[in-house]
Each structure stands twice: as C-alpha cells, then as structure tokens.
Amino acid sequence: MVEARLQPKNLTMRIKHTLTNYLFVLPAVLIFGIFYVYPFIKVFQLSLMEWDGILPTMQFIGIDNFKEIMEDKIWWGSMWHAGYITLIALTFQNGLALLLALACNKEIRAKNFYRVLFFIPPILSEVVVGLVWQWILDGNYGVLNNILTSIGLQSMVRNWLADPKTALTCIAIVHSWKGFGWGFIILLAGLQTIPRQLYEAARVDGAGSWQSFTKVTIPLMMPVFSMVIILTILGSMQVFVLIIAMVGQGLVYHTTVPVLRILGAMTGSSRFGYACAQGIVFGLVLIVVSFTQKKFSEKMKYA
C-alpha cells in the first residue's frame, strides 16, 4: 500500500491536489496581500523613515519617530480628547440608545415611525451634521443662545465652540447625537431575540420590572453590549470629520484628536514617516482597548 502511494502517478496526483487547494485560496490571498498585508508592511517600513512623501529618497532613522511620539505632549493630549469623546459616547450615546431601544421594544403606537426617526442622524453626512450644529451653537446668531436668552438664562450664553471649556464637550455630544441610532438598532435587534417566555417566567416567580431588566435583559444582552461598546470605542476614537466641520483646524489644541494629528503630520508638516508611526501607535492603542473591553465583558458574562 505504502509502495503504491509512492508511485509517480500517485505523487503527481498529490501535487495536483495540493495545487488545486492552493488555487482555491489564491485569489483571496492575493487580494488580502495587496490590500491589507502590503500596505501594513509599507506603513511599518515608512514609520522607520524620515520622508516627506514626495522625494524619491528616504532616510532610515530607526525608532526615532516612536521615541518622538512618546515625548509628544500634543499627541497624547489628542489621545485624551478622543478618550473623552469616547467616554461621553459610551455613556450618553449608548445610554440614550438603550433607553430608546427598550421603549421601542414595548408595544407602543407608531414604533416603526420612531425606529426610522432614530436612525436618521447616523445616515446623515458628518459634514452636514457638523455645519448644522455649528450654526445652532454659534455664539453670535446661534439658535441655542437665542433659546437660552428667551427663557431668561442669559448667563449661560456663550460661544460654545470657541470656548475651551465647552468646545470638546459640544463636539462629543453632537457625535453622540449622530451615532446613537446605530446603537439603538443593534440593541433593539438584541432585545428582540430575548424570548418572551423568560420574562413571563420571571414575572411568575415574582420579579418586578427592575429585576426582569437586571436578571434577564442585561445578562442576555451582554454579547450585544460588548459589540456595541467595541463599535462605539472604534468609531469615537477615530472621529475627525465632524470636528473639522464644526471647528475647522481647531481651537488651539483643545479639539485635536489623533486622526487630525496624523493628517497634520502627513499633509501639514509633510512628515510621512512620523504620521505612519503615529498610525501604528494609535492602532495599537485601539487594539489594546478593544481587547481589554472584550476580556472585561467576558468576565461580566460569567460573573
């Protein structure tokens, strides 16, 4: 039998089989290689270079770009700003999304209308949303200041986007307003997968609304929460279009986020190598945050 296997005809067949298998995966490997692996390797290579993005020559500088990032206070400040926006999105945006999803999961009138209504902000362009909110928050002719004046809250009137105390919070709230629709749809879909019988059984056992929510809804929704949280973190940490639309090149460094710093290094300072190094550091931070959150969710699930 073994001898038969080693016969040239069988060997040819085995090579042919192997080749066939490789041919099956080749297109996918090619696409993955060209569009994912090559750019990643290129970014990593560029992060070790000093290059302006145009000159045909690059200068190898080792890990100098990474060392510079470690000392770059503006970069880490921008990371904190993105973290602040993410924190507000995680609490305000997802809290609002959950409340509305819970409401729409009940037998209420016109719930389909509400579903459509809540999903409108996410489908709007970030530029449009940014410009509309800029108009609302304008310090001179803004709608918000007009409303505050008309209800006697003159002391609260300010230029919301030109004041370092309020600019970032305003951006975070607008970002949350624009993004809550995604969380709403995902959470609503998750809520609808929980069997009604579980709630009925809980009620039979004497559980009230709060107990049903904490003992049935929350444990069963943990995987959905986990997904919504990861999507919120990734989406909020990378926000930048909205910021450009609302405050242009920024209010000093108070509204700077990592993506804007990367863009600035690339197009403003023509430092492609540094921008690539920033991209890698930012990617690593996002991976670490996402994995930590995933581990935390798993622990919560089994707790």
Partner 1 sequence: MQKSKIQNPKSKLNLNIKSPKKIFNNLSLGFYYSFVIGVLAFVILLSGCSVQEGSVSSEAKVTIRGWHWMTDREEAFDELVRQYEEKTGVRVKFELYAPSDAYTQKVRAAAQAGTLPDIFGLLGEKRDFSSFVIAGHVANLNEEMLKDESAWKNRFFSRAIAVSEFLSGNEFNVEPGVYGVPLDVMNIQMLYNKDLLKEAGIRKPPKTWDQFLAMGPKLKAAGIHGFVSGWGEMWMIDCFASNYAFNIMGEEKVMDTIRGEVSYTDTDWIEVFNLFKEMRDAGFLYSGIVTMVNKTAEQLFSNEKSAFSFNGSWCVNVYSGMNPDLNYGVMLPPKKGKFPMKIWGGAGSSFLVNNRSLFKKETIEFLKWLSDDAQQTYLAEVTKNLPANKNSIGKLSPVLSGFVKAMEDTTHPNIWPVHEFPRVIEAFDKGIQAIIIGEKSPAEIALEVQKVKEKELKKKRR
- Chain residues that interact with partner 1, rule: CB under 8 A: 13, 16-17, 19-20, 23-24, 26-27, 30, 34, 52-56, 138-140, 159, 161-164, 167, 247-253, 264, 267-271
| Range list of β-strands (E), the chain | 49-50, 59-60
Return the number of the residue (95 or 248) whose C-beta is nearest partner 1: 248
Return the number of the residue (21 or 192) whose C-beta is nearest partner 1: 21
Residue 58 contacts residue 49 (beta carbons within 8 Å): yes
Residue 271 contacts residue 52 (beta carbons within 8 Å): yes
Return the number of the residue (140 or 197) whose C-beta is nearest partner 1: 140
The token pair at 18 is 């192997």
Closest contact distance (angstroms) between CB of 150 and partner 1 is 19
Return the number of the residue (7 or 249) whose C-beta is nearest partner 1: 249
Closest CA to 236 of 153, 187, 173, 162: 173
Return the number of the residue (209 or 249) whose C-beta is nearest partner 1: 249
Residue 188 contacts residue 104 (beta carbons within 8 Å): yes
Closest contact distance (angstroms) between CB of 24 and partner 1 is 8
Indicate the burial class of 133 (C-beta count within 10 angstroms; 0-12, 13-18, 19 or more): buried
The token pair at 293 is 């959150």
Closest contact distance (angstroms) between CB of 1 and partner 1 is 20
For every residue of 244-263, which 3-state class applies, written as one string?
A: HHHHCCCCCCCCCCHHHHHH
Residue 94 contacts residue 229 (beta carbons within 8 Å): yes
Closest contact distance (angstroms) between CB of 242 and partner 1 is 14
